[in-house]
């Protein structure tokens, strides 16, 4: 049997219907924005392999750093012990995060970064002897696939089967100029009920919802309302972090800073699974007590793994370089001028924020994720050697920052041809 046949035999892939399977493409090598299959065919990875890759595949700088780390220390227990990589990464992340962020808690991925945030908030109130257990979230929200992160996500086809087991969450609409007065009222009304522990949101861009974007002024006001009413705010920057929106974090567009941040995806430049939850000093203070029952009893076997910390530090080195910042600006400017030349009746909406650009198709169907447009989009671009995995009738570009103008142009031209 060849790899694809064996894959069919033994492997169960994520988010993949198990009937009528298209053969998985066997990727054997990566370089820059390209992935190469076993026959040498190359694919331009326009979506950074599910939004994780920042500096290109098999980036030599990060690869070398990790290989050096491998011979020093691969992993060590992180309770009662520490290591230089974890400390340096915490310090550097704190420097990049807003001033109110004081502590870094490590975990394994985006969902766990969110779980940690939710548990941190719930136990914060518990430690203060207050019974606040309700979270507020946006409609369309996606925060991960574990039970807590599913619970604060929108109820949809992703979690139908688990609906009865998810905890109670109050949803407010994603703000627009038209509905904003109503959204503020929804938020205040929920807060008035007195049991709201926190408000979680994907700042400015809701990824899995289909790159749904909303204004910073609106988020700013919602955060103020929370602050005035002792509701803890959680920015899930798992997708938006590390330059995607044009700034280091999406929250850098805000004057009012969230209390907790969840980071993952771009954290290690796309090399390794890792998650971080950072928090403001006042949250950590509620855990500083002689009373041992106030301890945050949470941790993962691989918490602060030395290789993932090393990958994250190497990725930060690259991100802090002027060349990378210039690339982020170049991508943003290219997207803006591409939007101007687009004019197709097939498009219902085009939107962008920094390096993210999304195209929403006019389709007869209103269903979103399972929209029949999706397989057609995937196939069209794959034939052209471009990976553009759509979310229903919405497709988007979220490229590695090493992409060149020419490579961007190749994607744009393919999109224009698709829209004809
Ligand atoms: C991807 C994503 C998550 C979940 O991260 P995983 O690493 O896939 O568990 C959480 N929140 C947001 C905003 C995401 O985009």
List the residue whose alpha carbon is closest to atom 10 of ligand 1.
143
Q: Which pLDDT tens digit goes with each residue over 252-302?
A: 999 999 999 999 999 999 999 999 999 999 999 999 999 999 999 999 999
Residue among 135, 97, 96, 99 at smallest CA distance from 115: 135
Give the pLDDT band of residue 414 (cuts 50, 70, 90): very high
Residues at CB less than 6 angstroms from ligand 1: 109-111, 114, 142-144, 202, 207-208, 236, 238-239, 264
Residue 189, C-beta contacts closer than 8 angstroms, at least 6 positions apart: none
List the residue whose alpha carbon is closest to atom 7 of ligand 1.
110
The pair of structure tokens assigned to 330 is: 């170049």
Domain 3-58+321-419 has CATH 3.90.1150.10: yes
Calculate mean pLDDT across residues 47-70. Answer: 98
The predicted pLDDT at position 371 comes to 83
Question: Of the CATH numbers 2.60.40.3500, 1.50.10.10, 3.40.50.720, 3.40.640.10, which one belongs to the domain with range 64-319?
Answer: 3.40.640.10
**C-alpha span between 411 and 413 (Å, rounded):** 6
Buried b (16+ CB within 10 A) or exposed e, 288-303: eeeeeebeeeeeeebb
Instruction: Work out the mean pLDDT of the chain and round it to a whole number.
Output: 96
Distance 312 CA to ligand 1 centre (A): 17
The predicted pLDDT at position 209 comes to 95
Residue 226, C-beta contacts closer than 8 angstroms, at least 6 positions apart: 187, 191, 199, 232, 233
For the CA of 146, the closest atom of ligand 1 is 9
Q: Report whether pLDDT(368) > 80.
A: no
**C-alpha span between 352 and 361 (Å, rounded):** 15
List the residue whose alpha carbon is closest to atom 8 of ligand 1.
110
Task: Classify residue 175 by its DSSP letter.
Answer: P
Choosing from 107, 111, 150 the residue with most ligand 1 atoms within 8 A of its CB, the one to mutate for a pocket test is 111
Domain segments of the chain as ranges: 3-58+321-419, 64-319
The predicted pLDDT at position 366 comes to 63
What are the DSSP calls for 182-209, one per residue? HHHHHHHHHHHTS-EEEEEE-SSEETTT
């Amino acid at each position: 049997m060849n790899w694809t046949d064996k894959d069919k035999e033994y492997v169960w892939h994520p988010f993949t219907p198990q009937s009528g399977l298209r053969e998985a493409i066997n990727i054997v090598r990566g370089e820059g924005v390209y992935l190469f299959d076993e026959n040498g065919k190359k694919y331009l990875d326009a979506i950074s392999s599910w939004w994780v890759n920042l500096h290109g595949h098999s980036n030599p700088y990060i690869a070398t750093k990790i290989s050096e780390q491998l011979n020093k220390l691969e992993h060590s227990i992180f309770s009662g012990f520490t290591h230089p990589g974890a400390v340096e990464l915490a310090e550097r992340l704190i420097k990049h995060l807003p001033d109110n962020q004081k502590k870094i808690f490590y975990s394994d991925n985006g969902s766990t970064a969110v779980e940690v945030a939710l548990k941190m908030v719930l136990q914060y109130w518990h430690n203060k002897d207050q019974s606040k257990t309700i979270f507020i979230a946006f409609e369309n929200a996606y925060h991960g696939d574990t039970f807590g992160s599913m619970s604060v996500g929108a109820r949809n086809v992703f979690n139908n089967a688990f609906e009865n087991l998810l905890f109670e969450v109050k949803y407010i609409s994603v703000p627009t100029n038209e509905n904003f007065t109503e959204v503020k009222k929804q938020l205040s009304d929920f807060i008035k009920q007195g049991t709201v522990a926190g408000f979680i949101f994907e700042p400015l861009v809701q990824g899995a919802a289909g790159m749904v974007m909303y204004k910073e002024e609106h988020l700013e006001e919602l955060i103020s309302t929370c602050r005035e009413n002792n509701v803890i705010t959680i920015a899930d920057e798992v997708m938006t972090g590390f330059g995607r929106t044009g700034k280091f974090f999406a929250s850098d567009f805000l004057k009012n800073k969230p209390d907790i941040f969840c980071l993952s995806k771009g954290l290690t430049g796309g090399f390794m699974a890792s998650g971080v939850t950072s928090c403001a000093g006042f949250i950590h203070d509620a855990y500083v007590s002689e009373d041992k029952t106030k301890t945050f009893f949470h941790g993962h076997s691989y918490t602060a793994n030395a290789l993932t910390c090393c990958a994250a530090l190497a990725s930060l080195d690259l991100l802090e370089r002027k060349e990378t910042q210039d690339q982020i600006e170049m991508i943003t400017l290219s997207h803006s001028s591409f939007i101007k030349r687009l004019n197709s009746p097939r498009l219902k909406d085009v939107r962008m924020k920094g390096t993210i650009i999304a195209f929403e198709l006019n389709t007869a169907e209103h269903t979103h994720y399972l929209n029949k447009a999706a397989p057609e989009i995937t196939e069209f671009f794959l034939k052209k050697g471009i990976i553009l995995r759509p979310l229903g009738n919405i497709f988007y570009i979220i490229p590695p920052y090493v992409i060149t103008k020419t490579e961007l142009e190749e994607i744009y031209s393919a999109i224009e041809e698709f829209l004809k």
